[in-house]
Structure formats: structure tokens, C-alpha cells
Amino acid sequence: MAAVVERLKAFHQWAESTSDPRTKDLPFVSSPLLTYGLVLLYLLFVWQGPKFMAKRKPFDLRWFMTPYNGVLVAWNGYIFYEFLMTTFLNPGFSPVCQPVDYSQNQTATRLARACYLFFLSKLVELIDTVVFILRKKTSQVTFLHVYHHATMPMLWFVGVRWIPGGESYFSATLNSFIHVAMYTYYLLAAVGPRLQPYLWWKRYLTTLQLIQFLAIIVHTSVAIYLSCGFPNEYNVALILYGISHILLFGNFYNETYVKRKQKKI
């Protein structure tokens, strides 16, 4: 038992000493307990929420959904802009091979802040599932949906605590751009039936998701090949994460659009 305690102490000391001093004391980053505890509560609600709603009428949450989706469109739009300004539009940044800059350089600090805001958005987006369950739209609470929403905050807690910059930017830039489109769709859908004829492009959101994860796998593989000074443990985890999403989104696309079209024929 004493040996286990000593190992835990050693791990804690290592975790503290290798954390990024610019982000390690920020809310939800200073300790894993809050973030991982929130995800645990989320999973508990996914499990018990439908039981709670079983004999109740669905909540009418349109009053909440419109501003909520509007905020997430603006939030992701701002994050996307910040990533563009600190990476692709920054002459001193290599989009292909870039280690984390841990300095207090203004641009490096701005990039770390963008990573933090992206991480926070993943916590806020847990509300998506809560809304689905309270509205009794449980068909939308698929394994893919829960897997994605539960794992993103946990993955990005690690990213923001230890590597807020460098190669981290790529997946977050793509994801924030796609989420602008996705929450714009949700915003328009929340307005009411009169906009339904203009929402024909939903299937292309799934296509964008598939392209996103394929691009992440390719980009991360190049970073490993070029030895970019970015932790390979995180790179490998990101590749495996991307593969899992391609399989899940690919299956969703096949079940939702390909097979349904075949049945109609």
C-alpha cells in the first residue's frame, strides 16, 4: 500500500511539474476532478434521464434552444477566428510541423487561450444531450453522440493542461468551424417548421465530420513522421480517436442516408 501511495505522489509531482503554467490554474483545468466529475454526472443523466422522463411529457425548450444554439455559433466562430489568427495567418507558425510554444509570447499565449476556450465549449456542449432527453428525443442520444460528447472534454483537459498549442490547433480549428455550421443548423431548426425546407443540407454535416477526422489522422501522422516535437503519446491517441469516429460516423451515414435511400427505391 505504501508503495502505491508513493507512486501516486510521484505521478502527482510529475503532472504538476510538466503542466503548462499558463493554463494549469484556470477553472476546470486546475484539477481533473471537476471535469471528469462533470462527465460522470453527464453519463449518469444519460442513464437515468430517460427513466425520469418515461411518464412525463416532453419539455418545450424552444425558448432555451434558440439563444443556446446562437451562443454556440458565436462562440465557435470566435474560437475559429482565434485559431486562424494564431496559426494559419501567423507567419511564424508552421501549420504542418509545430511544437508547443510554452513562452509568454503574446501569440503563443493567445493560442493557449483559444485552446482553453475550445475546451470550455466542449463542457458546455454536454447540454445538447440534456436537452434531447428532456424533450424526449432519445433517438438522437446514440452511442456516437454520447461517446463524442463524453470523451471530448476528457481529451481536451489533457490538451489544455499540458499541450495547449502546437499540433493541438489543427483538430480544434476544424472542429470549431464544423460546429459553427452544425449549431447554425440547430439554430434554424429551433426557429420552427417554416424553415424546414431550407435544412436539406443536414447530411453534409456528417460528410464534413468524416472529412474532418480523416484530415486529423493524416495531419497527425505527418507530425509523427516529421518528429515535430509534439508528444507522440497524444498523437497516437488522436489517431486512434479519429479512427473510432470515422467508423462511427461512417456507420451513422450509412444507416441514416444510404440504407434509407435504398429502402425508398
Tens of pLDDT, residues 33-57: 999 999 999 999 999 999 999 999 9
Nearest to 248 by CA among 218, 199, 212, 224: 212
Q: What is the pLDDT of residue 260?
A: 67
- CA 189 – CA 198 distance, rounded (Å): 9
The answer to whether position 235 is within a domain reads no
Q: What is the pLDDT of residue 5?
A: 67
Greater confidence (8 vs 142) lies with 142
Whether 7 has a pLDDT exceeding 80, the answer reads no
Q: What is the pLDDT of residue 3?
A: 67
- CA 72 – CA 179 distance, rounded (Å): 8
The answer to whether position 147 is within a domain reads yes
Domain of residue 107 covers 24-200
The answer to whether position 257 is within a domain reads no
What pTM does this model have?
0.93
Q: What is the pLDDT of residue 85?
A: 97
Q: Is 219 a catalytic residue?
A: no
Number of domains in the chain: 1
Question: pLDDT digit string (tens) for 47-104?
Answer: 999 999 999 999 999 999 999 999 999 999 999 999 999 999 999 899 999 999 999 9
The answer to whether position 187 is within a domain reads yes
The answer to whether position 262 is within a domain reads no
The answer to whether position 100 is within a domain reads yes
Residue from 145, 148, 149, 245 carrying the catalytic annotation: 148
Q: What is the b/e burial string over 68-93, where b = at least 16 CB atoms within 10 angstroms of the residue's CB?
A: bbeebbebbbebbebbbebbeebeeb
The answer to whether position 132 is within a domain reads yes
User: What integer best gives the mean pLDDT of the chain?
Assistant: 92
Q: Is 111 exposed, middle or buried (0-12, 13-18, 19+ CB in 10 A)?
A: buried
